[in-house]
């Protein structure tokens, strides 16, 4: 049975459950669940720029149609655009074919509800259960139809622009945008240009295999160089499906999700009531927000958990250092372009460069190492002992966080330490123990 992780179902294309037959069954099962009330249902399907998207799109479409569901095909478009358009079309669900920041060989399926939010645990469980049901078509005359939505990109561009102050403009700003050769390759530069900016787009020529390849939010080095070379006011880097963003200021310095949360919470005319971060959020962010009278609450890693915490508290702003930023007064999900536009709006309104807007936050040095290992590796005695030793060494100087990824087969080791070199050494020592244990 295919299981939903923290961000849908994800894996290497060609390996179960990311195979054409499994994805067709997933579409059929989801269609049956959506149509259980007896009414005609409709879904939107969008994708990023991976080659495997063509295959999975056809399989998913066939499964939904076989279950009697009408399908609206959006083509390559950012994940948050699908969330928005699902609401705009009053569809019963939106489906994204993407593996986000993963290599092109991976792909995945994730769902949005009719309200543009992640599916509830109950609906996900119902779909998982239905996958094991027989693939039987009892009423051929009830098959669904499929339609191509030709203006999907334009609709999303206009939505993004609507979140930027109406009487403001980006004229006079030179922006370098790194599209990660992904789903935002077309709409991201277009949005910025239509708001008046001078735009230099890089990594905006996807070929199906170069998504996230040494570019985008996970590899911002070329963006940093481009900002300096072009003497730009700032740079923006998206990930493969356009829901994460990293910024680069005019000096070439990287501005991550913690910086953006700080800017959005403290630099506007109205300060945030509270901010939801994650276990990965830098300790310096918590202290800086506290000085402004703003509380930071940490959720588990994953936008699903950030969203849950925001909803329960009635707050609007939350996110992760990776750049997955939620501004619930503007959008129902994490949206790279909308988060970036809110920072740009503050630059325009205050007349301050990006470096000055976040000057009140000096992050504590963090070292993050991803180790190819199964989560069960953390149960090895050698790993547990090394974790205990490092935690004892960090008392009063920093913290250690070790967690298995919810989207790929890696264990993430994060050490936060006032002494950057010492933090790197401790993180490396634990990563080596985990790697040896995984290969034993």
Kindly report, residue by residue over 82-137, the tens digit of the pLDDT.
999 999 999 999 999 999 999 999 999 999 999 999 888 899 999 999 998 888 88
Residue 3 belongs to a domain: no
Which of 357, 376, 403 is the last residue before a domain boundary? 357
Task: Give the catalytic positions in this structure.
Answer: 100
Residues 103 and 219 placed together within one structural domain of the fold: no
Is residue 145 domain-shared with residue 163, that is, in the same domain?
no
Does 4 map to a domain? no
Q: What number of H helices and E strands is found in the chain?
A: 14, 18
Percent of the chain, pLDDT > 90? 86
The mean pLDDT value for 225-247 works out to 98
Residue 189 has pLDDT above 90, yes or no: yes
Tokens describing residue 193: 């240009």
Looking at the fold, whether 236 and 176 belong to one and the same domain comes out as: yes
- Whether the Cβ atoms of residue 266 and residue 289 lie closer than 8 Å to each other: yes
> Residues 6 or more apart from 125 whose CB is under 8 A from it?
none
User: What was the pLDDT predicted at 29?
Assistant: 95
pLDDT level of residue 435 (50, 70, 90 thresholds): very high
Considering the domain architecture, whether residues 146 and 161 belong to the same structural domain is answered as no
pLDDT digits (tens, 9 = 90+) for 38-48: 788 999 999 99
Instruction: Classify residue 2: in a domain, yes or no.
Output: no
Enclosing domain of residue 23: 9-150
* Six-digit token string for 169: 């403009």
- Is residue 143 located within the same domain as residue 14? yes
Q: What are the Cα distances from residue 73, in Å, to 42, 53, 200, 285?
A: 11, 12, 29, 41
Phi, psi of 247 (to 5 degrees): -110, 160
Paired tokens of 248: 């680069």
Distance separating alpha carbons of residues 278 and 303, to the nearest angstrom: 9
Check residue 118 and give its pLDDT: 86
Contacts of 423 by beta carbon, 8 Å cutoff, 6+ apart:
365, 366, 367, 398, 415, 416, 417
SS3 141: helix
Do 100 and 184 belong together in one domain? no
Give yes or no for a cis peptide into 297 (omega within 30° of 0): no
Same-domain check for residues 145 and 169 = no
C-alpha atoms less than 13 angstroms from C-alpha of 263 in its C-beta half-sphere:
29
Please report whether residue 278 resides in a domain: yes
- Quick check: is 1 in a domain? no
- Beta-bridge partner residues of 176: 200, 235
Smallest CA-to-CA distance from 253 within 228, 285, 287, 284 is with: 228
Q: β-strands 398-404, 366-372: how paired?
A: unpaired
Question: Does 140 map to a domain?
Answer: yes
Q: Which of 106, 135, 150 is the last residue of a domain?
A: 150
Q: Encoding tokens for residue 336? A: 């790279």
CATH number of the domain bearing residue 70: 3.40.120.10
If one counts the domains in the chain, the total is 3
CA atoms within 13 A on the CB side of 350: 19
Higher pLDDT, 261 or 3: 261
Encode pLDDT of 356-406 as tens digits.
999 999 999 989 999 999 888 999 999 999 999 999 999 888 899 999 987
The three state secondary structure string of 155-205 is HHHHHHHHCCCCCCCCCCCEEEEECCCCCCCCHHHHHHHHCCCEEEEECCC
């Amino acid at each position: 049975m295919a299981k939903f992780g923290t961000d849908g179902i994800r894996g290497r294309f060609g390996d179960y459950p990311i195979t054409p037959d499994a994805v067709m069954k997933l579409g059929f099962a989801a269609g049956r669940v959506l149509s259980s009330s007896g009414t005609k249902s409709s879904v939107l399907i969008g994708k990023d720029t991976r080659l495997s998207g063509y295959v999975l799109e056809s399989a998913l479409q066939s499964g939904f149609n076989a279950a009697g569901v009408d399908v609206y095909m959006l083509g390559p478009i950012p994940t948050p655009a699908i969330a928005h358009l699902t609401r705009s079309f009053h569809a019963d669900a939106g489906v994204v074919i993407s593996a986000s920041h993963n290599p092109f060989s991976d792909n995945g399926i994730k769902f949005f509800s009719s309200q543009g939010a992640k599916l509830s645990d109950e609906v996900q469980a119902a779909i998982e259960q239905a996958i094991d049901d027989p693939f039987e078509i009892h009423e051929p005359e009830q098959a669904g139809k499929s339609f191509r939505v030709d203006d999907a990109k334009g609709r999303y561009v206009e939505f993004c622009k609507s979140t930027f102050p109406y009487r403001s403009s980006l004229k006079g700003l030179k922006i370098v945008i790194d599209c990660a050769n992904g789903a935002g390759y077309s709409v991201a530069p277009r949005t910025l240009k239509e708001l008046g900016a001078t735009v230099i787009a890089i990594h905006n020529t996807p070929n199906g295999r170069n998504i996230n390849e040494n570019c985008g939010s996970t590899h911002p080095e070329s963006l940093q160089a481009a900002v300096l070379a072009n003497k730009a006011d700032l740079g923006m880097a998206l990930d493969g499906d356009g829901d994460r963003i990293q910024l680069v200021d005019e000096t070439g310095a990287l501005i991550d999700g913690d910086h953006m949360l700080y800017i959005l919470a403290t630099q506007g005319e109205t300060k945030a009531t509270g901010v939801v971060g994650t276990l990965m959020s830098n300790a310096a962010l918590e202290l800086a927000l506290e000085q402004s009278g703003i509380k930071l609450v940490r959720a588990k890693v994953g936008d699903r958990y950030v969203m849950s915490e925001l909803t329960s508290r009635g707050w609007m702003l939350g996110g992760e250092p990776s750049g997955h930023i939620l501004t619930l007064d503007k959008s129902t999900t994490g949206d790279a372009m909308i988060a970036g536009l809110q920072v740009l709006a503050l630059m325009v309104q205050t007349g301050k460069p990006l470096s000055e807007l976040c000057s009140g936050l000096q992050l504590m040095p963090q070292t993050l190492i991803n180790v190819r290992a199964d989560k069960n590796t953390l149960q090895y005695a050698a790993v547990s002992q090394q974790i205990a030793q490092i935690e004892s060494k960090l008392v009063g100087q920093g913290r250690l966080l070790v967690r298995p990824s919810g989207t790929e087969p890696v264990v993430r080791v994060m050490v936060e330490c006032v002494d950057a070199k010492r933090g790197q050494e401790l993180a490396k020592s634990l990563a080596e123990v985990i790697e040896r244990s995984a290969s034993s």
